[in-house]
Amino acid sequence: MTSGHRAQWKGFIKFGEVSCGAALYTAASTSERITFNTINKATGNRVNRVFVDGETEEQVPKEQQTKGFEIENGQYIVIDPEEVAATIPQSNKTLQIEAFIPCSDVDDVYFDKPYYLTPDKMGSDAFVALREGMRKSKVAAIARTVLFRRMRTVLLRPHGKGLIATTLNYDYEVRSQKKALEGMPKMKIEGEMLDLAKHIISTKKGDFDPAAFDDRYEAALSAFVKAKIEGRSLPESKKLAVSRPSNLLAALRKSAGMMKASNCKPKRTAANANAGKGGQHPARAATAKAATSKAASQRKAG
């Protein structure tokens, strides 16, 4: 991993009687997004958060603060932080593989957060043997360990030179889709309508390229902040036409006709996290550059 990319966890992977050192690194982060601080309008200074008593409205110092669990409306049992700490499972720093399964066995809805799992220099041969064995067998591994105070189930999959370790949601955390779809009537689509839908799909086939999708909100926010820093008028947002329900068959016919008229095929590029260069978010980089220029101008003026 690059310098500055700190391991979130270090320990051992164990499969059978074989074990090797390993480390987890965050694979996805929102730290590059633009964030704001709360400031005092009158002074321009940043404000500090303080805790006040909900009834007396008096400020409560840190040494007087503790945890509580609400048992009734406004009624709490007091829980000492040390008591909470005692419930945390003891960690042996071991990612224990319990089973190897087909990669398709785990529904994506159970996926929580991805991490890069890398080998320790001392145990790289065992790590590579595990990775290549899984790749050749086309399997994933289910493992368990204590991460961030909780016993977590982790899905391990080969990924480039390392493994991807994805923490999984517990079953009680995943909601059934039955409630979301309970009002949906039973329908059967066939004939011309189904053929047109299949035709549109076939003409739009491609591959997922993450670089082709931009974060429009982040870009607009960056342009807004950059304009404020430079003292320019704020960019106007474009109004988008709201889609309206249409006759399905007519819409399918129109779409199929448009696809037929356009013979250009979408560029197909494979998505690969290992091919990315990483680095600072372009929108944040532009904003930071504007802020640096503004600060430099102020220093010269002073």
Structural domain boundaries enclosing 105: 9-30+88-173
pTM of this structure:
0.72
- Which has the higher per-residue pLDDT, 215 or 281? 215
If one compares 249 and 196, the residue with the highest pLDDT of the two is: 196
Do 16 and 138 reside in the same domain of the chain?
yes
Judge whether 287 lies within some domain: yes
CATH of the domain at 147: 2.40.290.10
Query: Does residue 138 lie within any of the structural domains?
Result: yes
Q: Are 141 and 220 members of one domain?
A: no
Q: How many domains does the chain have?
A: 2
Q: Which residue has the higher pLDDT, 256 or 145?
A: 145
Same domain assignment for residues 98 and 227: no
Does some domain include residue 141?
Answer: yes
Closest alpha carbon to 162 in 7, 280, 23: 23
The better pLDDT of the pair 81, 136 is held by 136
Cα 145 from Cα 153, distance rounded (Å): 7
Q: Is residue 262 part of a domain?
A: no
pLDDT tens by residue, 249-286 = 777 777 777 656 554 554 544 556 666 555 566 666 66
Say what the pLDDT of residue 230 is: 85
Reported as a single tens digit per residue, the pLDDT across 54-96 is 899 999 999 999 999 998 888 899 988 888 888 877 778 899 9
Does 168 reside within a domain?
yes
* 160 and 221 part of one domain: no
Q: What is the pLDDT of residue 202?
A: 87
In a shared domain, residues 13 and 160: yes
Determine the pLDDT at residue 261: 59
Residue 3 has pLDDT above 50, yes or no: no
Predicted local confidence at residue 2, as pLDDT: 47
pLDDT of residue 206: 86
Spatial neighbors of 284 by CB under 8 A, at least 6 apart, are 32, 33, 34, 218, 222
Residue 129 lies in a domain: yes
Residues 17 and 164 in one domain: yes
Query: Given this model, what pLDDT does residue 246 score?
Result: 63
| CA–CA distance, 165 with 142 (Å, rounded to integer) | 10
Residues 6+ apart with CB under 8 A from 167: 112, 113, 115, 147, 152, 153, 154
Same domain, 154 and 286: no
Residues 146 and 228 in one domain: no
